[in-house]
Chains A and B, each alone.
Chain A
Amino acid sequence: MTQHATDNRIDIPSLLVRLPLFQALTPEQVAHVSAHTRSKRLPKGEMLFQKGDLAHGFYVIVFGQIKLAFPSSNGNEKVVEIIGPKQSFGEAAVFAQRPYPVFAQALADTLLLHIARDVIFELLETDTSFARHMLAGLAMRMHSLIQDVESYSLRSSAQRVIGYLLQHCPNEGCEGSIEITLPTSKQIIASRLNLTPETLSRILHDLAEAKLIEMQGKRISIGNLQRLREYDF
Chain B
Amino acid sequence: MPHSTENRIDTEALLARMPLFQDLSPERILELAEHARGKRLPKGDMLFHKGDPAHGFYVVVYGQVKLAFPSCNGNEKVVDIIGAQQSLGEAVMLAQQPYPVFAQALADSLLVFIAREAVFSLLENEPAFARRMLIGLALHNHSLVHDIESYTLRTSTERVVCHLLHHCPADIGDRVEIALPTSKQITASRLNLTPETLSRILHDLVEAGLIEIDGRRIVIHSVTQLREAIADQDTDTQHAGRSVARPRADKRPQQTAAVKSPDGHCHAGHASASELSKEHRFKTSW
Residues of A bordering B, CB below 8 Å:
51-52, 70-74, 76, 78, 80, 91-99, 101-102, 121, 124-126, 128, 131-132, 134-136, 138-143, 145-150, 152-154, 156-157, 194-196, 199, 233
Contact = CB atoms under 8 A, between A and B. Distances in A.
Nearest to B258: A74
A146 B144 contact: yes
29 contacts: A51-B263, A70-B149, A72-B257, A72-B260, A72-B262, A73-B259, A76-B255, A78-B257, A91-B138, A93-B138, A96-B135, A96-B142, A101-B268, A101-B269, A124-B127, A135-B123, A135-B134, A138-B91, A138-B94, A138-B138, A139-B94, A142-B91, A143-B92, A145-B144, A146-B144, A149-B77, A152-B152, A153-B77, A194-B255
Contacts of B259: 72-74, 76
Contacts of A73: 234, 259-262
Contacts of A132: 120, 123, 130
B21 interface: no
A interface majority secondary structure: helix
A135 B257 contact: no
A152 B257 CA distance: 12
A152 B148 contact: yes
Interface in B249-272: 251-255, 257, 259-263, 268-269, 272
B186 interface: no
Contacts of A195: 254-255
B71 A154 contact: yes
Given A73-B262, A142-B286, A196 B149 contact: no
B136 to A, nearest CB: 9
Nearest to B93: A139
Given A96-B135, A96-B142, A128-B127, A139 B148 contact: no
A156 B252 CA distance: 6
A70 B138 contact: no
B281 interface: no
Contact of A139 (B95, B147, B253): B95
A52 B140 CA distance: 17
A140 B125 CA distance: 23
A150 B92 contact: no
A35 B261 CA distance: 37
B157 interface: no
B79 interface: yes
Given A72-B260, A72-B261, A143-B100, A150 B130 contact: no
B22 interface: no
A146 B97 CA distance: 12
